[in-house]
Amino acid sequence: MKAIVVTDRAAGKAGMKLVARPDPDVARLASLEGANYGDVVVEVHASGFTGNELDWPSTWVDRLGRDRTPSIPGHEVAGVVTALSYGAAGLSVGQRVFGLTDWTRDGTLAEYAVVEARNLAPLPGDVDFTTGAGVAMAGLTAWQGLFEYGHLVAGQSVLVHGAAGAVGSVAAQLACEAGAYVIGTGRAVHRQTALDFGVQEFVDLENDTLEDVGRVDLVFDVFGGDIGNRSASLVRTGGTLVSVAGPPEARPIGGRALDFVVVSDRAQLGEIAQRVRHGRLRTHIGRVAGLDDAVAALNSTDHISGKTVIRIRP
């Protein structure tokens, strides 16, 4: 199969190469000798890559900390199940699926990926593969940050940083739908995009004063650093700062501060898929490229807002 691999951590995305790799060993996977109980083989149709993935330690080592290069990056997937291992539950051969793959295993910038069944959910027939791959990470991250960790409920206010970006735009839409008052942030050029994703107010971090938003019940932070620190003081007593950019340095007085790493969740993917197919949730996909053009697309210096999705099959 064709796959994109990385071997040199220092080279970053410039070190990505399109190479030939062995297909998954389906016979071994299906046998009791395969040991990968619970895995399925996915014929990848679309793959999503997060911009800073090659900085994550999990790209380079397995769960025991051993070098696992050459590694295949890209951990968002939409495709079709072509084989099941012993113990793979809830999916069948020929089923359309989407989800997130394990950070410490080969990913989805390849014609096939071996994925734990529990990390995948059915992708409805009326949601295309590009959308499925483009919404998995952003959707789950936003869902978990707002509802699991942020405990957001109707009537509360939430400050969503990076509201025109992949994760922030989904967080803005989910929070609006949940009945929250949503204030988005970003650069000046993002104002209209963020408003189109449903934010009621927008703070242009280049020209406005963040502190003018007053107090909020929840901050959903994708930036960390100075913006994250200043945001802690905006959380009202009993509120929460949730970060997806690493552990918060500053803590709200009388509130909680936490960070998390997204995990795949079949039930949450189902909620996300239903919202997408009914037009209640849109993904911000900025660029789509084929596998042969993927290394160039992922290394492009053109600034394109939104997620890059690689169509592995046309």
Ligand X SMILES: NC(=O)c1ccc[n+]([C@@H]2O[C@H](COP(=O)([O-])OP(=O)(O)OC[C@H]3O[C@@H](n4cnc5c(N)ncnc54)[C@H](OP(=O)(O)O)[C@@H]3O)[C@@H](O)[C@H]2O)c1
Residue 50 binds ligand X (CB under 6 A): yes
Residue 219 binds ligand X (CB under 6 A): no
Residue by residue, DSSP assigns the chain as -EEEEB--GGGGGGG-EEEE-PPP-HHHHHSTTS--TTEEEEEEEEEE--TTGGGSGGGTB-TTS-B--SB----EEEEEEEEE-TT--S--TT-EEEEE--TTS--SSBSEEEEEGGGEEEPPTTS-HHHHHHHHHHHHHHHIIIIIIS---TT-EEEETTTTSHHHHHHHHHHHHTT-EEEEEE-GGGHHHHHHTT-SEEEETTTS-GGGG--EEEEEES--HHHHHHHHTTEEEEEEEEESSSS-SS--TTSEEEE------HHHHHHHHHHHHTTS----EEEEEEGGGHHHHHH--S---SEEEEES--
Residue 239 binds ligand X (CB under 6 A): no
**Which residue lies nearer to ligand X by CB, 74 or 162?**
162
Residue 186 binds ligand X (CB under 6 A): yes
Part in contact with ligand X (CB under 6 A); list of ranges 76-84, 125-133, 165-173, 249-257: 165-173
CA within 13 Å, CB half, 264: 22
Residue 134 binds ligand X (CB under 6 A): no
Residue 36 binds ligand X (CB under 6 A): no
Residue 222 binds ligand X (CB under 6 A): yes
Residue 165 binds ligand X (CB under 6 A): yes
User: Shortest distance, CB of residue 298 to ligand X, whole angstroms?
Assistant: 13
**Which residue lies nearer to ligand X by CB, 73 or 165?**
165
**Which residue lies nearer to ligand X by CB, 24 or 248?**
248
Q: Which residues pair with 115 in a beta bridge?
A: 40
User: Shortest distance, CB of residue 131 to ligand X, whole angstroms?
Assistant: 15
Cα separation of 261 and 245, whole Å?
Answer: 9
Residue for token pair 């009202």: 236
**Which residue lies nearer to ligand X by CB, 57 or 155?**
57
Residue 105 binds ligand X (CB under 6 A): no
Residue 158 binds ligand X (CB under 6 A): no
Part in contact with ligand X (CB under 6 A); list of ranges 34-42, 46-54, 91-99, 127-135: 46-54
Q: How is residue 19 written in tokens?
A: 């190479």
Residue for token pair 């890559």: 49
Residue 173 binds ligand X (CB under 6 A): no
Residue 261 binds ligand X (CB under 6 A): yes
Residue 252 binds ligand X (CB under 6 A): no
Part in contact with ligand X (CB under 6 A); list of ranges 47-55, 77-85, 120-128, 149-157: 47-55
Residue 142 binds ligand X (CB under 6 A): no
**Which residue lies nearer to ligand X by CB, 41 or 174?**
174
Q: Report the residue number whose CB is nearest to ligand X.
A: 165
Residue 70: asked if its preceding bond is cis (omega within 30°), the reply is yes
User: Shortest distance, CB of residue 313 to ligand X, whole angstroms?
Assistant: 24
- Contact residues: ligand X, CB under 6 A: 50-52, 137, 141, 162, 164-168, 186-187, 190, 205, 222, 244-245, 261-262, 305
